[in-house]
Structure 1
Amino acid sequence: MDWVSILSNTAAWLISPETIAYALAALGLAVHFGYTGLLNFGQAGFMALGAYGYAISILSFGLPWWIGILVGLGASVIFAFVLGIPTLRLRADYLAIVTIAAAEIVRLLFTTQAFDEYTNSADGLGNYHASFRAANPIPDGLYGFGPWIYNENQWWVRIFGFALVVIAALVVFALMRSPWGRVIKGIREDEDAVRALGKNVFAYKMQSLIIGGAMGALGGVVLALPSAVVPSVYVTSLTFFLYTILLLGGAATVFGPIAGSIIFWVIMAFLSNVLPALVQVGALPFMTTIQSQVLRFILVGVALMLIVIFRPQGIFGNKKELTFVK
């Protein structure tokens, strides 16, 4: 096996746009689930709204790229209100079921041909990168070393994406150490007790849903920056991957979702390279190359079960802050 190529391809995912986008969305889930106790399984819907809001603003209305980001954030806020007003009084698994359905409704709305003029239905949207790339301050050329050699536009996406991650992490860090954050953590532990103290639990939950959803929308924007917006990306399994990342790094932490995203995508990249190589050299004679790609998801699923059983707080988490460990 060509270990140099395998390790090089794996290392490239340390700073990939997917890694950055999932870190942002997982930070939003940390606000929802880790700190507030909201079992939101519809984060893929927020990411889809961010990506489509950004792309449609540029393609259909000719708006600048930065206004497109604001439109995506605005769409996520509206979705949070529409989703939260009738559902935030639900608890645990009931809220999870409703949010899964809501995210699927969003994806199917982008897939249907009724809005084909704006969404291009199942084919998705592309060719909206000109204004963002025009704002690129990096001169033309290739930069980097080893597996991290990219052109100016690829570096611009990564630098901009990591800047958003840093800003989002600082916002979460500040919020969770404020009086607002203490109320949010109290709702996670016992919302009836918080309500008895005179706090408007519903309003705090709505604020948490909006903030975490906005971070998910930013993740969708970053995911759309280097390529295209395709509705088949924003499926339920995307949210499951985000929960894997969240639980891997630590649910009620700021750095955990970021580290979890890096670890998750590095492992996925390593398995996607090494498993087919093992098939080719005959080390896995019982499966084909295509089947080996499915095996990586099985291994990640098993790893997630082991994490929940033996270290439910994640790598950087605190067991005392988990809603599902008492």
Structure 2
Amino acid sequence: MDWSLILTNVAGELFAPTTAAFALAAIGLNVHFGLTGLLNMGQAGFMLLGAYGFAIATIEGWPLWAAVGVSIVLAVIFATILGIPTLKLRGDYLAIVTIAAAEIVRLVGRSTALTDLTGASNGLLGNSFKHTFQDASPFPDGSFSLGPFTYATNASNSWWLRIVGWLLVAAIALVVWRLMKSPWGRVLKGIREDEDAVRSLGKNVFAYKMQALVLGGTLGALGGIVYALPRAVQPDAMGRTTTFYIWTILLLGGAATIFGPILGSMIFWAGLMLIKSVMRATVPADVMSVAQIEAFGWVIVGVVLMLLIIFRPQGILGDKKELAIHAH
């Protein structure tokens, strides 16, 4: 077993574009759940909308900044449509509606009626919408090695995408940290703990919840763009399971914390890579095929999530006192 290769692959996952994308989506979910107590079970829908908005706008010839703007606008509209009928209800209803809404986005994306626009179940090929992002890179084409890591400078799974993705994560984490410390953030925490008490103070609870839903959804859409850039926009790649990965990441790192979603994403993807790499190297092919090892990796993730909720519900960085409010 080549440990140096395995550990290099695992370390590479720590700062991979996918890890950054899921960190962004988990920070958005943290605004929903950790900060406001909203049970959003459809964060994958925001990711998919963000990816589609960016890809379709780019294919239509829009510049990079405008394509990102389209993604954000779509997320805002989607959050508003979701929020108006449901945010007046209690948490469980929002969970049901958001699962359904994310599925609607996925099924509309798969629809053969929209093949010309969304590519139906085949999706949109990466090469059709990556050029504006790659053209924005200041680096020369080719590849670059840093220690054991060698990636292309500008192509799909590139240093350029890693730099942009992680700078975006850092910037968003800083913004959310400032918001959490602001009067606005304190009102959201008040809503999470006791909605009626906040309402009795004359605050418009519905408006604050809507703002949180829109902000968290927008971060999910940005995560969707980063997720789609090294691959393609494929509707089934951002289905229900994606939402559960994001929840696992958030609960692993710790809800209602700033670095929890980021640490959770790093541990989740690096841990998964470690499990799969070690199993591929040690389990004989006649015992488990590569596809079975892939599936078994996810089984372990599911078991870890269950154990986490039972034994460490606040996550790695979470505070048990912060979480007590979610129990009711």
* Structure 2 residue aligned with 1:173: 177
Equivalent-residue separation in structure 2 for 1:141 and 1:121 (angstroms): 33
* Structure 1 residue aligned with 2:319: 318
1:280 is paired with a residue of what secondary structure?
A: coil
Displacement of 1:48 in angstroms is 0.5
**Structure 2: stretches of 5+ with no match in the other structure:** none
* Structure 2 residue aligned with 1:95: 94
Q: Conserved in 2, the CA contact under 8 Å of 1:13 and 1:269? A: yes
Displacement of 1:9 in angstroms is 1.7
Displacement of 1:94 in angstroms is 2.0
Equivalent-residue separation in structure 1 for 2:145 and 2:206 (angstroms): 48
* Structure 1 residue aligned with 2:9: 9
Q: Conserved in 1, the CA contact under 8 Å of 2:19 and 2:266? A: yes
1:240 is paired with a residue of what secondary structure?
A: helix
State the percentage of identical aligned residues.
Answer: 57
Q: Conserved in 2, the CA contact under 8 Å of 1:30 and 1:257? A: yes
2:242 is paired with a residue of what secondary structure?
A: helix
Q: Give the counterpart of 1:241 among 242, 245, 264.
A: 245
1:143 is paired with a residue of what secondary structure?
A: strand
Number of positions where the alignment pairs a residue of Structure 1 with one of Structure 2 = 322
Give deviations 1:176-227, integer Å, cap 9, x for gaps. 1000000000000010111111111000000000000000000001011222
* Structure 1 residue aligned with 2:295: 294
Q: Matches of residues 205-244 of structure 1 in structure 2 within 5 Å? A: 205-244=209-248
* Structure 2 residue aligned with 1:26: 26
Paired residue type of 1:165: V
Equivalent-residue separation in structure 2 for 1:195 and 1:324 (angstroms): 18
Q: Conserved in 2, the CA contact under 8 Å of 1:104 and 1:235? A: yes
Paired residue type of 1:173: W
* Structure 1 residue aligned with 2:55: 55
Paired residue type of 2:50: G
Q: Conserved in 2, the CA contact under 8 Å of 1:9 and 1:147? A: no
Displacement of 1:174 in angstroms is 0.7
Displacement of 1:15 in angstroms is 1.2
Q: Conserved in 1, the CA contact under 8 Å of 2:37 and 2:326? A: no
TM-score, structure 1 normalization? 0.95
* Structure 2 residue aligned with 1:189: 193
Paired residue type of 2:93: Y
Equivalent-residue separation in structure 1 for 2:316 and 2:61 (angstroms): 44
Give deviations 1:269-294, integer Å, cap 9, x for gaps. 11111112221288xx4x44432222
* Structure 1 residue aligned with 2:202: 198
Deviates more, 1:254-263 or 1:308-317: 308-317
**Structure 1: stretches of 5+ with no match in the other structure:** none
